[in-house]
Structure 1
């Protein structure tokens, strides 16, 4: 009788174990896809930011004040890919934190520190570009010292550390290490403080700065578009001056007017002045077209900069700042999705801030494709973006001197 009663129990246990194995197998395939996708994100983050760092270190032309800020951004994003993303994959797959609460605190602190440094570096770049675009002559004279740029970068990292450290000194909620979970500090006061310092205040600064830059570009685009669409009849002017020269020469060669030597000299002066004026007109027209293209490209870059930053980080910080005030925590999958969306900003930053610059593209080609190319090819840079281009006033003065001589 006891054996008959035990048979159904054994059958139920066997069926339940099979069901768990099937579910576990399906879950494993999901993990394989998840790990593969997130590993690609890590690889793109590491490779892209490594190229930026190597390009600045190995290319003298890229060792500029603006690229000091880009370098700081790349270092922060590279460290995010190295220290923050890999433990997140393990935590995502296992579903619980198995490395102890000390490593949990270190991991969360590194996450907050590096992501905040990355965001504040974006803000520093925006301020640098705003001053360079709106006050190019004044700012170019005052910001040449890389020591000032390094001081600003140090301030960025110290501010990030100041936002990261309060939980270490006791500003955190109770019970944060229960049930083998590793999560962000959910103390209401600290969440508001860190969200404002890490995202919302830099966001306001970036939106204001880039809005002002857009207004400056819009004011420049209207006259530049009109000037770029106007054709200058330089060739007709040059040809007419040549015809006038030949006619003058034939008149001067007539026996009746050979005594008028000054005629030929006057014609020579007319020819020189005509060609000089034609060259000036052509150069002026080409400069207006080039300026129009640069300003248009700057507007496109601004859209990518602001759009990428807001799209990646806004969902995470909105969820982050409201979570401590909700009666129940949001779904874990939603939190993980928004967290990884924010980290993806570290992967796309090299494409927005460096790959969009012609000088960086030349350096990347030299570091990658050129090493495997048998026949060197000439790489012609695209129109340089004034957001990232350093103005060389000495070269402008040299060109102006050559034009006048």
Structure 2
């Protein structure tokens, strides 16, 4: 159990650091002040919220194997969990839609693409996420004054299970797959004819590369979240029952996606590479220096011991 808690703690810390680095890079680097990057920044902020509000409480719950924080905290935690995770998923959907418009309607969308439009998109994402996540608060079972011993998602309402799983995962996933398939398959000459000048051709080429990167992110997203939402749907329909350990594993597999998103962006995007890697190196530098210093002290100690002998 101790090893598991330590591993989950390191995963949580790394998720917070990497997403924090992406947020800081976009906010402080003028070169990255682009509407498309604002959506990425919002995604990183959502994943950052998952790492500081959701994952630590889950670690405590797993370590103690019982819920000890009371009914109010339980409801707040589950609501924040569902809202942030749904919001993270819907961000990928909006980013795919943004790439689709940028490639298929290069010149027209370039005029409309603005920070204000990105803000409206983000606002819509949060509203949809709240509407998907809040309903269970109105029918959760209210225990006595001692509070609940478990804090889990209730599967008593089949209609809500279908509504939430399709709204938070299956419909967005289908839409992303369709958009990416259309975007990547569009022949280059079609967008080059629309984006006649050289500057727009370069931008369109960059958007195509970004769409392919988004394809990798979508693959990771499906691998991380598909098992969880498949389990939720089957449990809600009373087809299967899931043990607490299986539920915890599938939930954390979904949380892991909050770490993968920024890693993929910073690994394949040259602009993010140049800005984010130095920041991550600075954050990790004290740890490396501490390890190096401890190693050198150990070497000197062994050398002195041999001299004495």
> What is the TM-score normalised by the length of structure 2?
0.80
- Equivalent of 2:129 in 160, 164, 169: 160
- Equivalent of 1:348 in 260, 270, 274: 260
1:113–1:295 Cα change, 3 Å: closer
* Matches of 1:149 and 1:293, distance apart in 2: 21
- Alignment root-mean-square deviation, CA: 2.9
State yes or no: 1:208 paired with 2:208: no
- Equivalent of 1:169 in 138, 151, 158: 138
Deviation at 1:291, TM superposition (A): 9.9
* Matches of 2:272 and 2:17, distance apart in 1: 14
1:294–1:58 Cα change, 3 Å: closer
- Conservation of the 8 A alpha-carbon contact between 1:80 and 1:346: yes
Which protein has the larger Cα radius of gyration, Structure 1 or Structure 2? 1
Deviation at 1:295, TM superposition (A): 8.4
1:199–1:364 Cα change, 3 Å: same
- Conservation of the 8 A alpha-carbon contact between 2:161 and 2:232: yes
Deviation at 1:137, TM superposition (A): 1.2
Aligned to 2:119: 150
Aligned to 1:304: 216
- Equivalent of 2:237 in 287, 301, 325: 325
Residue-by-residue CA offset, 1:311-347 (whole Å, 9 max, x unaligned): 0000000001111222763111111111000010001
Aligned to 2:227: 315
Q: Higher relative contact order at CA 8 Å, sep ≥6: structure 1 or structure 2?
A: 2
Aligned to 2:300: none
1:35-54 aligned within 5 A: 35-54=5-24
Aligned to 2:60: 90
Number of residue pairs matched? 274
1:17-32 aligned within 5 A: 31-32=1-2
* Matches of 1:324 and 1:202, distance apart in 2: 20
1:341-380 aligned within 5 A: 341-369=253-281
- Conservation of the 8 A alpha-carbon contact between 2:132 and 2:167: yes
SS in 2 for 1:184: coil
Aligned to 2:188: 220
Deviation at 1:359, TM superposition (A): 0.9
- Conservation of the 8 A alpha-carbon contact between 1:83 and 1:110: yes
Aligned to 2:289: none
Consecutive unaligned residues of structure 1, counting only runs of 5 or more, are 1-30, 225-283, 374-405
* Matches of 2:229 and 2:122, distance apart in 1: 24
Deviation at 1:353, TM superposition (A): 2.7
Deviation at 1:32, TM superposition (A): 1.3
1:101–1:148 Cα change, 3 Å: same
SS in 2 for 1:355: helix
Aligned to 2:25: 55
Consecutive unaligned residues of structure 2, counting only runs of 5 or more, are 193-197, 286-309
* Matches of 2:162 and 2:147, distance apart in 1: 23
1:198–1:299 Cα change, 3 Å: closer
1:239-250 aligned within 5 A: none
Deviation at 1:354, TM superposition (A): 3.6
Deviation at 1:150, TM superposition (A): 0.6
1:100–1:69 Cα change, 3 Å: same
* Matches of 2:233 and 2:242, distance apart in 1: 12
- Conservation of the 8 A alpha-carbon contact between 2:89 and 2:168: yes
> What is the TM-score normalised by the length of structure 1?
0.62
* Matches of 2:233 and 2:282, distance apart in 1: 47
Deviation at 1:209, TM superposition (A): 0.5
* Matches of 1:372 and 1:194, distance apart in 2: 39
1:151–1:291 Cα change, 3 Å: closer
SS in 1 for 2:101: helix
